[in-house]
Amino acid sequence: MPKAVFHRSAAVLVALAIGAAPASASNGSSLTIFARVPTVCHVTVAPSASLPFQSGANNLGVMTELCNSMAGYTVTLNHPAGLTDAWVEIGSARVPLSETATHTIIVDAATAEFRERPLRLILSDDDTQGGAIALSLDAQPKGPVF
């Protein structure tokens, strides 16, 4: 169904509901409208200047989290195993990266959120000796998904 037709149909339903409200009050009937909103959960990073990773602080950019799951969500950073003494800073929060796994949950939110925060990666001298470091982020809702 084209969007214009859908919007007109929705407007007609709302108009009918508004027009029917006084009549329904007099005879005891009612009209209830339910809607289900699809679950949206994603994370993006608006990158800062792209430079090779170096030991110390690396500004990755501004991370934007958007998730409408009422049960909350997680954001996972996928990274190579073997990073030693590495962590990310999300705003003022410091999250150590797993040395043995290839991913670390860096955000564990208990409610729906929209947030924008700076994201930095801190690496040790040992971490920058192995060549390129590939990173990616993944957001997953908790609870039921619609």
Could you give the CA distance from residue 30 to residue 97 in angstroms, rounded to a whole number?
55
Question: Residue 88 belongs to a domain with what CATH number?
Answer: 2.60.120
What pLDDT does 29 receive?
Answer: 87
Domain ranges, residue 115? 41-141
Is there a single domain that holds both residue 119 and residue 49? yes
Q: Are 11 and 17 in contact (CB under 8 A)?
A: no
Residuewise pLDDT in 10s, the chain (146 residues) = 444 433 444 443 444 444 544 544 567 788 899 888 899 999 999 987 667 889 999 999 999 999 999 999 999 999 999 999 999 999 999 999 999 999 999 999 999 999 999 999 999 998 887 677 899 999 999 999 98
Could you give the CA distance from residue 110 to residue 72 in angstroms, rounded to a whole number?
4
pTM: 0.74
Q: Which tokens hold the place of 3?
A: 């969007």
Could you give the CA distance from residue 116 to residue 71 in angstroms, rounded to a whole number?
20
